[in-house]
């Protein structure tokens, strides 16, 4: 971009008309006029440093957003924005979190097994390792869910993040145990 500006200024200094410069460089005439006008005013064809819009998210605000999500992952972007005194919009917060690979979704539901439950399951499996299940009729189970109101939360994608304890919604199931029936 700077090379094109330099070329336009050199051609202008060489006495070429602005219309001819625009045609030769395949630039719009208004753009060439603006480049020449800026050069005549500041005696430089270079772009002014820091000429863009200032960023809304400072490093401090970014850290505050991430800390809020880590401590309270169920907060919506609206609530985060209001807790930050609306210094940034909810959409800006949402875009920033998405850029960090966070997504707002329901947590993984996983049965909550106590250490005793795990030991009993392992014991039963080892006892029935060589059992002949051909004479067993299995019945469907009816499940009743407790704690069914699950909130969405900000969860970071990836293998290391999906299964963190704070990203798992415990699932309590109560059902019927299948009985052995001999034919």
Residue 181 inside a domain? The answer is no
> pTM of the entire structure?
0.46
Residues 6 or more apart whose Cβ sits within 8 Å of residue 152: 74, 104, 105, 106
C-alpha to C-alpha distances, 60 to 10, 67, 80, 151, nearest whole angstrom: 45, 11, 14, 28
Tens-digit pLDDT string for the chain (183 aa): 678 888 888 888 888 888 898 888 888 889 888 888 888 877 776 766 666 677 778 899 999 999 998 888 888 889 999 998 888 889 999 999 988 888 888 776 666 677 888 899 899 889 888 888 888 777 666 555 555 556 777 777 665 555 555 555 555 554 444 444 443
| 180 assigned to some structural domain | no
CB-facing half-sphere around the CA of 97: CA atoms within 13 A: 28
**Shortest CA distance to 174 belongs to which of 140, 149, 145, 138?**
145
Residues 93 and 70 in one domain: yes
Which residue segment(s) compose the domain that 85 sits in?
Answer: 59-100
Residues 35 and 65 in one domain: no
Residues 9 and 31 in one domain: yes
Indicate whether 148 belongs to any domain: yes
């Amino acid at each position: 971009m700077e090379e094109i500006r330099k070329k336009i200024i050199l051609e202008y200094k060489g006495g070429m008309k602005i219309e001819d410069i625009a045609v030769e460089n395949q630039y719009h005439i208004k753009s060439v006029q603006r480049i020449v006008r800026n050069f005549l005013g500041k005696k430089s064809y270079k772009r002014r440093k820091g000429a863009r819009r200032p960023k809304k998210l400072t490093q401090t605000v970014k850290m505050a957003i991430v800390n809020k999500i880590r401590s309270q992952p169920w907060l919506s972007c609206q609530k985060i924005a209001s807790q930050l005194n609306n210094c940034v919009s909810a959409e800006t917060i949402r875009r920033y979190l998405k850029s960090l690979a966070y997504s707002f979704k329901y947590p993984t539901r996983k049965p909550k097994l106590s250490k005793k439950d795990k030991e009993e399951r392992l014991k039963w499996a080892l006892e029935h390792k060589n059992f002949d299940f051909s004479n067993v009729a299995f019945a469907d189970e009816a499940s009743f869910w407790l704690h069914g109101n699950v909130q969405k939360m900000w969860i970071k994608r990836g293998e290391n993040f999906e299964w963190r304890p704070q990203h798992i919604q415990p699932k309590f199931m109560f059902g019927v145990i299948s009985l052995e029936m001999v034919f």
